[in-house]
Amino acid sequence: MVNFTGKTAFITGGASGIGLGIAKACAKRGMNVVIADINKSAVDETVTLFENNCWPVLGLQLDVTDRAAYKKAADEAEYKFGKIHLLVNNAGIGVPEGKLWEDKNEDIDLAIDINYRGVLNGIKEIVPRILRHGEEGHVVSTASKAAIVPVPGFTLYNSLKMAVVTVMETLAVDLRETNVGSSVFCPGPYQSNLGYSSGRIRSERLGVEMPSFGAPKDGEKAPPPPRMDVDFTKVIRYPEDAGERVLRGVERGDLYIFTHADFKRGWDARAAAISKAFPDEPDNPDFQKVFPMLVYNPIYEKQEKVPGLAPAVK
């Protein structure tokens, strides 16, 4: 999607953190922005911020797991702005750290509902609307760097974000004859309210307190903070940076939108391990003729080298 002015972006989880960064980047490019977020007070604050900047906005309280509510929200967005062009499936929660066999079933279901089913709901509801009007469009889903290099102890988070990557890769195949693009956004660490939002949603849904991330379990002593000669202000990034990177990726038609070159080493190791794991046997040319789409996928050829970008500041 190359022309943004006057087009409409529908952004889930758009009232905070990375989603808000993406929303601001859209507004700065002259787009109408629909902020669809479960947190009503954050939606109201965001609408005020946008109105103060004279940025066209519609704020909607939406739980992405609720299919009927999603349809209503999409109808309201079209009623206000006519058409939706850019869908950003960004709403997501953090998941308590723990070994999978120790996770509560309720946490597993909640994480699947929001981090995976919410993305499917967005695609099912909005993509047909974009295809129907025929103008150029794009879908971005926020996965995580955890989908590329899994974080120890976060099976649920890693695997659901990996599922989002696969959804967007397959969507790119399924949309390749259209003028609608597909990208997966895999950010590294960004300043956001993920811990707080996830804790709030979890306690509302499951009636439990969310332990703060990395907190010691009952009976354990907190480990001393690591002594590192590091300026953390140079490590953590702001959502404005995420927004600029996402919009640049949409404009370029990137299938993958990454934020930190630092994670390439982990990916290279993973890709090399997978390559080494194929048995050292000759290919069967007949197999390739019978199952061409099983052995090769042309969508990867489109991804071009991404130049560096100075991190955007607040």
Ligand X SMILES: NC(=O)c1ccc[n+]([C@@H]2O[C@H](COP(=O)([O-])OP(=O)(O)OC[C@H]3O[C@@H](n4cnc5c(N)ncnc54)[C@H](O)[C@@H]3O)[C@@H](O)[C@H]2O)c1
> Between residues 47 and 64, which has the closer beta carbon with respect to ligand X?
64
Rounded Cα–Cα distance for residues 11 and 246 (Å): 12
The least CB distance from residue 21 to ligand X, in Å, is 8
The least CB distance from residue 130 to ligand X, in Å, is 20
Task: Give the neighbor-by-neighbor strand order of the sheet with 8-12.
Answer: 57-61, 32-37, 8-12, 86-89, 137-142, 180-186, 256-258
> Between residues 129 and 161, which has the closer beta carbon with respect to ligand X?
161
Rounded Cα–Cα distance for residues 37 and 18 (Å): 12
Angle between helix 239-252 and 17-28 (nearest 10): 60
The least CB distance from residue 197 to ligand X, in Å, is 3
> Between residues 91 and 123, which has the closer beta carbon with respect to ligand X?
91
The least CB distance from residue 160 to ligand X, in Å, is 9
The least CB distance from residue 101 to ligand X, in Å, is 23
> Between residues 136 and 163, which has the closer beta carbon with respect to ligand X?
163
Residue 121, amino acid: N
Enumerate binding residues for ligand X (CB under 6 A): 12-13, 15-19, 37-39, 42, 62-65, 90-93, 114, 118, 142, 144, 187, 189-190, 192-194, 197, 201
Residue 283 three-state SS: coil
What is the secondary structure of 181-196 as a DSSP string?
Answer: EEEEEE---B--SHHH
Nearest to 249 by CA among 171, 186, 206, 311: 186
> Between residues 15 and 175, which has the closer beta carbon with respect to ligand X?
15
